[in-house]
Structure 1
Amino acid sequence: MGPALLFVHGIGGARDPRAECAAWLAALAVGVRKADGQGDSSAAALNGLAEPAFAYYADLFAARQPLGAAGIDPADTEELRNLLDELIEVRLELGPDPRERRILEHARAELRPPHPGRNADEPVRRIVSVCTTLLALPGLRRAGQWAGGRLMAGHLAQVTRYLGRSERDATGLTVDRRIRERVLERLDAARPTVVVAHSLGSVVAMEALHHHPGPVPLFVTLGSPIGMRAVVRPRLLPQPPAVPGCVERWLNFWDRDDIVVPRPRLEDDVLPNGLGCRPVTERIDSDGLWAHTATKYLARGSVAGPVAQALRGAVETGGA
């Protein structure tokens, strides 16, 4: 039995899992071609190396009826404010150009707590306003990933909703557990699996892999928020955060233009596992447009090359 390839998506709205899997596979094929410089690196060839699968969970976030503006529960606003505050502060530490600095400082000022006595929707509206301001950043403005601050705020809130671990369905299961189960359902303990996870999906996959008994020769994280020390890292399970025992190699990639990745060096925040594996972080540079998409990362030779190498290695060893 040959190896498997599992994709885990990040924040965002509803999508077609089959179409998304095909798009990720096509981008990976582009990256492999860049890395190899020879041979057949088409999506079909990658399909021949491993059986691809896509862990989809966006529908679980859509199931809750929104209680405030932008589909954000007012109870979530404090954690979302902390998330935005860390994104802005670390971005300022990177030394942006004067125009970007003005935008970031304006957004930071908007994050100040509202005056006492304001209505319940005020914190939510403030979050939306901050996101609207951040969309004026050149990379976000040109890319068109979000139509407005309302949509951006709602998607970023998925991070705090997952880590809040309090939303329950009719059976009492929390949304984070249901999301992890979607990942675990796609994993096969009988064969090695290369796992590629993006954005919030990197958090989901890392937690899920702690419950996976099968081998993972390579775990790849793209645009991961795991290193966010105010909102994400303290809420990861288990604590302290550590590499799952099944992971043999972990490569973490980040783009300087990716605003969702304020603290990229996971080596500083995740303990090694019993195999001695720890994250290895590498920076990539985009074309200056919106960098926080999985396909943007996967089309890079430095990202796709190790994925193909791990799959080929698993095939050569008979998938064992």
Structure 2
Amino acid sequence: MKPRLVFVHGIGAPRDAAAELDEWLRAVAAGARAAGHSAQVSALTGGWAADARFASYGDLFHTAGAQGGGAPAVPGPAESPDDALLAALLLEAVEERLADPGPLAPAEAAALRAARIRLAPPAGAQGAGASARRVVNAVTSLLAVPGLRALGGWLSARVTAGMLGQVARYLNRGESDGTTTLDQRVRARVADCLDPHGPNIVVAHSLGTVVALETLHEQASHEHGVREHPVAVPLFITLGSPLGVRTAVGPRVRPHLGTPDNVGRWLNFWDRDDLVAARPRLEDFVKPNAASVAPVSHRVDSDGAWVHPAAKYLAQPAVAGPLVEALTTLAER
């Protein structure tokens, strides 16, 4: 039986799952070649090495009248909990970046300081829609830097803020359709891609690391304890994860910020220039599971100004190498 390879994306507009799957596999193939695994590349891209799936859920964030597939972060009649959470998340990410002992380009440092001021204005500068205004203003500052501008591509600060707001919308556990909340519907998309009978390798990026972690917890247990047949995940890989954001993300993870009991190995990768991975050493925050499995974090260094995209991470030999090695080992069993 071929192992199942499940990719879980982060924020953004609705995606073409087939096209995204092809892009992610090609990125892994490039990284595999660089890692000395050229012999396995054709098996990977040809579908012989794994039953690869792309868990796509971006369409679930689409709101009528919203741009970019996300809730528009604009001033409204009342303070939105989504905007408040996004402001807190961005503020922590900006402060962590500014506190990094490594050198910052002058333009980036200036943009980060401007964003921090806009996210944390003087006391009393509040009012209806204040968080929404702070978020859009802060993103405007960040997009002034060429490297950070790629965060939103050619999108406006308002649309970019709306996409970033998907993190808050997921973590605030709202937007019920009468039966399930938005976060439950998102996790269901990931769960549908998992093989309940065979081994799964799960590779998650950005917001997808939160979604995948919670999904794997659900697939390892139920309300009354451990599932009789939990979904097996011998390898879990996280890329550019915000799970270490200690105030806005970590405490909101359900059921808790810990390694699911069905995960046999967890590799976490981060780039120093990735603003999203504000506190990257997840082993400092994530509790190990019953088998003492905890995340093991590795730094990678990508070329280019904007290093957050999943394909940048997947093309790294340090990421693709262990992934291909795990697929090969599972296929030989």
Same topology, TM > 0.5? yes
**2:48 aligned counterpart, secondary structure:** helix
1:222 aligns with 2:222: no
Aligned residues of 1:257 and 1:288 also touching (Cα < 8 A): no
Query: Unpaired runs of 5+ in structure 1?
Result: none
Identity percentage of aligned residues: 49
- State the one-letter code of the partner of 1:280: V
1:269 corresponds to: 285
Once structures 1 and 2 are overlaid, which stretch shifts more, 261-270 or 96-105? 96-105
1:232 corresponds to: 249
Inter-partner Cα distance in structure 2 for 1:41 and 1:81: 42
2:194 corresponds to: 187
Query: Of 126, 134, 141, which aligns to 2:134?
Result: 126
Inter-partner Cα distance in structure 1 for 2:10 and 2:71: 23
User: Shift of the alpha carbon at 1:248?
Assistant: 0.4
User: Shift of the alpha carbon at 1:37?
Assistant: 5.2
Inter-partner Cα distance in structure 2 for 1:181 and 1:305: 29
1:203 aligns with 2:220: no
Query: Of 94, 101, 110, which aligns to 1:102?
Result: 110
1:168 aligns with 2:176: yes
Q: Are the structure 2 counterparts of residues 314 and 44 from structure 1 closer, same or farther at C-alpha, using a change threshold of 3 Å? A: closer
Inter-partner Cα distance in structure 2 for 1:161 and 1:224: 17
1:301 corresponds to: 317
Q: TM-score, normalised by structure 2?
A: 0.88
User: Shift of the alpha carbon at 1:145?
Assistant: 2.6
**1:49 aligned counterpart, secondary structure:** coil
1:25 corresponds to: 25
Aligned residues of 1:128 and 1:150 also touching (Cα < 8 A): yes
User: Shift of the alpha carbon at 1:43?
Assistant: 6.6
Query: Unpaired runs of 5+ in structure 2?
Result: 220-229
User: Shift of the alpha carbon at 1:29?
Assistant: 0.8
Q: TM-score, normalised by structure 1?
A: 0.92
Question: How many residues matched?
Answer: 315
RMSD over aligned Cα, in angstroms? Answer: 2.2
User: Shift of the alpha carbon at 1:287?
Assistant: 0.9
**1:263 aligned counterpart, secondary structure:** coil
User: Shift of the alpha carbon at 1:121?
Assistant: 4.0
Inter-partner Cα distance in structure 2 for 1:309 and 1:108: 42
Query: Of 279, 282, 285, which aligns to 2:298?
Result: 282
1:14 corresponds to: 14
1:243 aligns with 2:259: yes
Inter-partner Cα distance in structure 2 for 1:147 and 1:188: 37
Inter-partner Cα distance in structure 2 for 1:19 and 1:115: 47
Once structures 1 and 2 are overlaid, which stretch shifts more, 30-39 or 94-103? 94-103
| Alignment deviations for residues 40-73 of structure 1 (CA, whole Å, 9 cap, x no partner) | 5137556111110011111111046559854787
Task: For 1:61-72, list aligned pairs within 5 A.
Answer: 61-63=61-63, 66=66, 69-70=72-73
User: Shift of the alpha carbon at 1:159?
Assistant: 0.7
2:93 corresponds to: 87
